């Protein structure tokens, strides 16, 4: 069965890291209500770099990359 996936790379300033990581759980919960999965991977070589993935059954079910960040903040 085909699925839809977005990938977003972000740079998180060291002073914003704790707040960003705390926000991830909230974003994941909101997306789960929309039947979307949400994962964040941190770079092993750059502590300021993360890659976010959002997956859903269809493209229409996915939030836009921009709204994924702004709606959940």
Q: What is the pLDDT along the chain (73 residues), one digit of tens a residue?
A: 788 999 999 999 999 999 998 899 898 998 998 899 999 999 999 989 999 999 999 888 887 655 555 554 4
pTM over 0.75: yes
Separation CA 44–CA 8 (nearest Å): 17
Q: In the numeric block, which tokens belong to residue 41?
A: 């991977």
Structural domains in the chain?
A: 4-70 (3.30.70.100)
Indicate the burial class of 19 (C-beta count within 10 angstroms; 0-12, 13-18, 19 or more): exposed
């Amino acid at each position: 069965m085909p699925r839809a996936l977005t990938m977003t790379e972000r740079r998180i300033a060291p002073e914003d890291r704790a707040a960003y990581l705390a926000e991830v759980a909230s974003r994941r919960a909101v997306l789960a209500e929309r039947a979307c999965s949400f994962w964040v991977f941190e770079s092993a070589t750059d502590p300021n770099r993360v890659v976010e993935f959002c997956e859903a059954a269809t493209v229409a079910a996915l939030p836009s990359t921009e709204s994924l960040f702004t709606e959940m903040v």
